[in-house]
Chains A and B, each alone.
Chain A
């Protein structure tokens, strides 16, 4: 549930849905996100849903904090939304050169790489949010035995397509980008496509992801490569 609304500076609302990070909390965030988007409230120029927060940016020339707060507080979120959440299969190759943090993960988790991959591919993932860089999905929850911290020193450049894990989450680097997640493999799938302005993200909050292990040969012959 929406617990509290405060101001983030003078041009944004900070909506707090509680400290728990789980699917139920996140679905509540997504519900608010969808309802506000559909309402097209005058002055709102950005919405950023995350695990347990929703940030609503607005144009201070058009409206202000108390006006938007009032509208959000009186929002009817009970209306059934057309859910068009998808199930998406994401092929991942975890062979040499792609699994950048293979030995680090083996050591940190005290598991063989085979065991790590079995646990990783053995479940479905839920997309909590997208962002940081364009189209990057934040997926969860990974197996309890695979949870570890970010790299002590982030990489200057994580290759595009890299699949990373940290704490309870997995992500996909949509571009070459700096980053500190533990990289277990790489997908040939184009997860962000800016030529599709209407829907550039392959994966959106609320979607379900099924990772599928592929060989290097399958990776190389993939259409998106």
Chain B
């Protein structure tokens, strides 16, 4: 058996293995996890000829610096990412959405995401990973998933099992669009808030706080006043729920969120906006815009069609 592997020279800020995540475990307290930006995940896998739901490396802000040892393989980076590929005699700036060959001794240095948060590194190979509940996704809060549920760190190795035989290089033209208006459906506790609070929620600007991670996105801005109760009996949460605790600052539940919570829900971000929501870096300005359920459903269908079209171009 040949030994093909990556050495991690620098782990990056929050580098984890992710895939489609875990289903049907909310009732025991385990969230979906999985990739934050689903479209970029699917594109990454398609560009290296993997199954669409194969494990990838997700990184936030600064990514990992890796050195490869082994037989030739393909890799790709998706998102809005600045990275360098270091060959024996030269170094090039990499382009996202272009797959590249990687040879023995080459290095990939993922310097940073550009005005966004998450990027994806897909390898045209099966990776040696531990799966829990049919997913490798690392949940660092519960220490579940591959790598004992911990983020990847320098000095570690990523072992590969079987390199894809098809090494055709592929690319797709895609530009990540930015989002400023986040569309929401009113939450089940919308009426807990004062008229002024409701008005603020839909009319004022909020800033994404530095205290945001895979669990949740905290927002800062004018306070949203609660006139009924700042606590509710704990009940289930889903991705995209916007809770407003007693301090009046909204928190949006993201992929690793706690499965139940006791703060009133003012709104829920619609599914179509999720991939772009998670890419909002701290300091970004956002506004909420109310839409109806039927419109949210239609917009999601269109988004899915667009994703399929992109995948078909590869």
Contact = CB atoms under 8 A, between A and B. Distances in A.
Interface of A: 6-12, 14, 21, 33, 45-55, 57, 60-61, 64-65, 129-136, 138, 174-175, 177, 192, 194, 197, 200-201, 204-205
B133 to A, nearest CB: 6
Nearest to A150: B231
A12 B24 CA distance: 13
B271 A10 contact: yes
Contacts of B133: 197
B268 A9 contact: yes
Interface of B: 23-30, 32, 132-133, 141-144, 185, 187-188, 233-238, 240-241, 258-261, 265, 268-271, 293, 296-297, 300, 304
A10 B260 contact: no
Given A47-B27, A48-B235, A48-B237, 13 more contacts: A11-B238, A11-B271, A12-B238, A14-B188, A47-B24, A47-B26, A49-B236, A60-B300, A129-B260, A131-B29, A132-B234, A197-B133, A204-B28
Contact of A10 (B234, B237, B258, B300): B300
Given A60-B300, A197-B133, A49 B27 contact: yes
A45 B237 CA distance: 13
Contacts of B28: 130-131, 134-135, 192, 200-201, 204
Given A6-B188, A8-B241, A11-B271, A131 B293 contact: no
B198 to A, nearest CB: 18
Contacts, number: 133
Given A6-B188, A9-B241, A9-B269, A48 B27 contact: yes
Contacts of B265: 8
A160 to B, nearest CB: 11
B241 A50 contact: no
B27 A8 contact: no
Contacts of A133: 29, 141-142, 258
B297 A132 contact: no
B240 A9 contact: yes
B97 to A, nearest CB: 23
Q: 4 nearest interchain CB pairs?
A: A48-B236, A9-B268, A55-B236, A10-B296
B300 A53 contact: no
A21 to B, nearest CB: 6
B235 to A, nearest CB: 4
Q: Which of A33, A60, A65 has the most CB of B within 10 A?
A: A60
B257 to A, nearest CB: 10
Q: Which of A9, A130, A134, A200 has the most CB of B within 10 A?
A: A9
Nearest to A16: B188
